[in-house]
Amino acid sequence: MNPTHIVVKLWMQCHVLRDDSITYQEYVNELSFLRFLKTMQENNQAAEVPEGCYWGDAYAGLLEPGM
Q: Model confidence over 34-55: pLDDT tens digits? A: 788 888 888 888 777 778 777 7
Strands (E), the chain: none
Packed helices 24-42 and 3-19: angle between N→C axes, nearest 10 degrees: 150
Q: Minimum mean pLDDT among 2-6, 18-22, 51-55, 60-64: which range? A: 60-64
Task: Name the more confident of 39 and 20.
Answer: 39
Domain that holds residue 46: 3-63
The total domain count for the chain is 1
**Is residue 57 within 8 Å of residue 40, measured between CB atoms?**
no
What is the phi-psi region of residue 28: left when phi exceeds 0, alpha when psi lies from -120 to 50, beta otherwise? alpha
* pLDDT the model gives residue 64: 60
| Separation between Cα atoms, residue 48 and residue 41, nearest integer Å | 10
Greatest CA separation for the chain: 35
Question: pTM (2 decimals)?
Answer: 0.52
